[in-house]
Every structure is written in C-alpha cells, then in structure tokens.
Amino acid sequence: MQPIRYQYDVLVIGAGHAGTEAAMAAARKGAKVALLTTNLDTVGQMSCNPAIGGVAKGHLVREIDALGGIMGRAIDATGIQFRMLNMRKGPAMHSPRAQADKKGYQNWVKATVEGQENLDLRQEMVEDLLTETLTDGERILGVSVKGGAEYHAPAVVLTTGTFLSAIMHTGEAKTAGGRAGEGTTHGISGALTRLGFRLERFKTGTPPRLNGRTIDYERTEIQPGDDQPQPFSFLSNDFSVDQIPCWITYTNDAVHQLIRDNLDRAPMYSGQIAGSGPRYCPSIEDKIVKFADKDRHQLFLEPEGRDTLEIYVNGVSTSLPRDVQDQIFRLIPGLENAQIMRYGYAVEYDFCPPDQLRSTLETKAIAGLYFAGQINGTTGYEEAGAQGLIAGTNAAGRLNGEPDFILDRDSAYIGVLIDDLVTCSVDEPYRMFTSRAEYRLLLRQDNADRRLTPIAYQAGLVGDERYQDLLAKEGAITKIKQQLEMRRHGEHTLTKLLRRPETEWSDLVVHLPELAEFPAAVQQQVIYDVKYEGYITRQQTTIDRHKRLAGKKIPDRFDYEALTHLRLEAKEKLSRFRPASIDQAGRISGITPADIAMIMLHLEGKAETSPS
C-alpha cells in the first residue's frame, strides 16, 4: 500500500523560534510551506527564560525584524518590561532586552503562523528523512511521519532544538525528553547518522520556577523597566506598555558551601553528562567551581507573565537533585519560604557541528537540506530565529534559482553568527556577543532597518509599503543633514557644532526650531551619522580592503590535497570547512598567512601541484 503523500515547496521541521522564522520567511517569498511540529500547543514556546534580546542578542532581533521576521513584533505585542542595556557606553553597545508574557508570546506567534498565506501548520512526528542518490551526490526528497504518511519537497529545513536523542537530568534521575513534559526525537538522529552526518552532544540547563506569592520582595532589590521603553520592531509606532518590575537577590557563602558539598550529585561533575554546556550561561554549579573567589552571585527574579505568579530565577540554572534545590532557596534572602513550582534540570542532546554547512545553511552532504537553530550548536531564541530566517529564505529561493541569500560580516550580526558557525564550528554552545563583530560601530541595533530592509525588499521578504517607509525615513535624514550644513552659528555650520561631544540635539533646535518636528528615530540617526562620521569612514575603508580579499572566490570542489607544499593540517581543515573565499579561509583556526599565500598562488595558476 502506497503511503499518503503531501507535496510542498518547503518543509520546516520543528516550530520553535528557528522553525517559525524559517517557515514565515519561505511563505513570504511565495513558497508553499508545511511547518511540522510534534505538538501544536508549543509553537513559538519560550522553553527557558521568558525574555527576548540582551547584549548583542537584541541586535539580532532588530535585524530579524528589519528582514521581515516576526520576533520583534511578537515581543513588542506581549512584553511586560523593556530595558535598553549598556546605555552608559557608546551606541554600538546599546542592546534592547524585554521580559515577555510567556504564554502571550507563544499564542501571538502561533496565531501569526496560522494566519500566514502559503503556510500550513500541522502536528506530525517526523520519523525519517527521504533522500535520493544522483550522479553528483545526495538530495533531499522529504520526510516520513508517524502513521506512514510522507511529505515531499525539494527543500527541507531541520530545526529540532534540543530534542535530538535528548535526556533530561535532575540529580541522579534521568528522563527522556527535550524539555519538561515532552518527549524526544530519535528517528531524525538515526537518519542523520545513516546519511553520514557527524553528531556530537551538548547540554543546556534551566533554573527552578517559584511561586511569587511565597517570595518576600521586601528583602530583594526592585528592577523597573525604562521610563521611556523602546520597541524592538521598526513597525511599532506610538509604542507604550504597562510594565511589570523584576527583582534582584544574591547567593551567599552558605549557598556556595551547600553546592560544593553536593557536587558529587551534580550530573556535570559526576560524569553522568559528557556534553559541553554554554560557557556564557553557566549552571550555578559551574559558577561556584569556576569563580570560587566570588562571595556572591546575582539572581534575577523574572515574572513569567501578567496572568501568572510563576517566577523564573535567572542565574541559578541547575541539575542538582530536588532536595538540594529545596535547601538552596532556604538560604537566599527573600526566598527562604519560596515554593518551587518547577525544578531545574539539564538537557543533553545531539547536534550537528556546523562545519558541515554552507553559508546558506544548506548541508554540504545533502542538497536541499538545511539546518537552523540548536541543531547547529547555538544557544538562545535570537540566534535560532536568525538562522531560521536565513535558512527559510534560501530554501525558498533555490526553487526559482535565485542567488544565495548570504549576509556578510560587515552588513549584519546575523552574518557574523553564520560565518562564525560555518568557518570556525563550535566546541561549546554558541552565543552572540558584541565583541564577536569587528565592525560593530556600523552594525548598531538602531540602524538595522537602514542596513537590511533594502536587501530584504530585493529578496521578497518585505513589501512595498515597508520599503517606501524606509525611503521616506532616509529622505528625512538627508533633509536634516542638508539643513545643518546650510545653517551657521557664528563661524561654524550646525553640522560642525553637532560633532562636538558636548552638543545636544536641543542645542541645535534653538537655532533651527523645525528640527523638533522630525521623529525621534530620524533625529537619532542624524546624531550618530554626524558625531561618528570619522570613525565610520575609517571602518568602511577597512571593510573595502577586506572585501577585495573576500572577492577572491575558491571553487567549491577545490582540491587542497593537490597542493604539494600545503601543510597537512591546512589540507585537512580546508577540505572539511570548504571556505567560499580567501577571506573566509583566513578566519579558520590554524590557517596561516603562508597557507593563504599558497592557495592564492594556485588560484592564479602559479603553484606547484602534485602529479596526477
């Protein structure tokens, strides 16, 4: 009996942050998309912290929005507290962050996905990947699901999160599952292994949740939102929100000693978990061991929504046994009588090291198969959403033979993220930081629309109305600059006056009152453009120099083994990573300038090769 078959242009497996962005992007481009998930009640679920954004992560969300994605609009619609981080530093470091109404966010995403034209949302358990062998390699055909049906498509995006052969750990107790209350996915791991993919193990963790009614907030520090909250989406006009505070408390020596006394019962230290965890979001056990000189660690008490008293304890991610978790909170100021509603746990899961991907996030081994999110060794909703958008865009674009949709390191944090993954791979869960972006002065969160919306418009990710709004904004910026250059104050133009560090926008309005009529976002762009013009020009010169190097492409099937004088280590790494350009090759760990020179000589026809 032939299985029931469903035909689509693009299949997206998994409906978390990567999957929803991938499916929405492909559908916006006109592809017929099926989004398959094991549970329709967890579409867009915030499986760990109830927040979006943060240092550098906020940049990613602004970029996702500028490219037409939904994450920024989702948090603007459902956020309960908004803060702009690093405001004492320069604008390149400013990063938006917001607490979310966890259920509200999830429901908003699900409703938006359900309402998207060209997109079918279905509850299915994927059991296997279907492929066929061609003369030039393997290509994807689709997937088979539990019950015997098949979904066929020339492009498939896998966004499996932490569910590949996942095991949850709380002390000595182990349970199959990718998060509390849900199962695991074994079939896809087996299919990937069968198809020749290299799988490794990572772990992530989540902290306990407390009943807010049982917390003594008088013994904690209140943390309010910004007086003038700023939205994530460039589409959120006249933004206002009724904000809810968070609170801060601290661990102490007694807590630290209790944890040290029970390290032998912690899965990461007992040998029960072998996978690496995120260095930049460590468990409380890791903090106590690796930062033994610190006498306290900050904990953030974050509400999970407007209609619940559940509190997320940010900073105490743990897989210690239940009885130890109970004892920990008895020792923390304000939490002595707090009731644990959900215990913390760690999840160990399979991922595919991302050196097996192209910069489009298509796998090198299987044509038409794309990976996005934690399957690539990343951590965080924002990193996942960014990858999903790029994978979905390329999956839909390949149907019409469109050029690859790749963002360079000098154009977006998303470009930095993906280039880091495919060029350097990962040995721990990857998290985005501003320090990873060498051109961060140009890649500010405030100008993401100016950088990326024109590109999104050309790729069919945003419509005419949004593009025209951007052109109007650019026109207003140009008009103000012209006015500043034409109006003088004494011997100097207002442009030169604005370049002075002490000059505020209000100082210019005194001389040119009509400046006050322009939107705040337009004023802000003019201020940054003028004040940082010299730095921006120097950084652009550096970028242009690097682009000349990046422009030297390396053929996809370049034979590194044929280079007689190329070092063995270089041959092995270059053959594995398959860099697309000289610039990318130079960023691979262990590749030396001499190696690059050898490749350049060969590309120019001057190098000695091994006899055939």
- Mean pLDDT across the stretch 573-581? 88
> What was the pLDDT predicted at 136?
84
For the beta carbon of residue 240, count every other beta carbon within 10 angstroms. Answer: 9
Check whether 92 has a pLDDT greater than 80.
yes
State which fold the 551-603 domain adopts: DNA polymerase; domain 1 (1.10.150)
Tell the residue number behind the tokens 């809810």, with chain if given.
244
What tokens does 437 get?
A: 């972006």
* pLDDT per residue as tens digits for the range 132-177: 998 888 999 999 999 999 999 999 999 988 777 778 777 777 776 5
**Please, where in the chain does CATH 1.10.10 lie?**
465-537
492, 496, 501, 527 from 511: Cα distances, Å: 12, 14, 18, 16
Report whether 598 contacts 607 (CB < 8 A): yes
- For the chain, what is the mean pLDDT? 91
Band (274; pLDDT cuts 50, 70, 90): low
**Region of poorest pLDDT, from 154-168, 264-278, 472-486, 584-598:** 264-278
Q: Which sign does the torsion angle of CA 341, 343, 348, 354 carry?
A: positive
> What was the pLDDT predicted at 589?
79
3-state secondary structure of 84: strand
State which fold the 5-205+349-458 domain adopts: FAD/NAD(P)-binding domain (3.50.50)
Using only the alpha carbons of the chain, give its radius of gyration.
26
**Please, where in the chain does CATH 1.10.150.570 lie?**
551-603
85, 170, 208 from 325: Cα distances, Å: 31, 10, 8
* DSSP category for residue 514: G
**Please, where in the chain does CATH 3.50.50.60 lie?**
5-205+349-458
Comparing C-alpha atoms, which of 605, 570, 599, 560 is closest to residue 583? Answer: 599
- Mean pLDDT across the stretch 276-284? 69
> What was the pLDDT predicted at 612?
37
202, 423, 456, 588, 612 from 576: Cα distances, Å: 21, 10, 31, 11, 22
- Mean pLDDT across the stretch 62-80? 98
Residue that wins the pLDDT comparison between 201 and 594: 201
* pLDDT per residue as tens digits for the range 44-63: 999 889 999 999 999 999 99
Q: For the chain, give percent helix, strand, coil, nearest 5.
A: 40, 20, 40
Q: Which helix (H) or strand (E) holds 405?
A: none
* pLDDT per residue as tens digits for the range 213-235: 999 999 999 999 999 999 999 99
Maximum alpha-carbon separation in the chain: 88
Comparing C-alpha atoms, which of 34, 194, 183, 185 is closest to residue 123? Answer: 34
Residue 60: exposed, middle, or buried by beta-carbon count in 10 A (0-12, 13-18, 19+)?
buried
What tokens does 434 get?
A: 């501003």
State which fold the 209-344 domain adopts: Elongation Factor Tu (Ef-tu); domain 3 (2.40.30)
* DSSP category for residue 502: T
Band (105; pLDDT cuts 50, 70, 90): very high
Architecture per CATH, domain 465-537, reads as: Orthogonal Bundle (1.10)
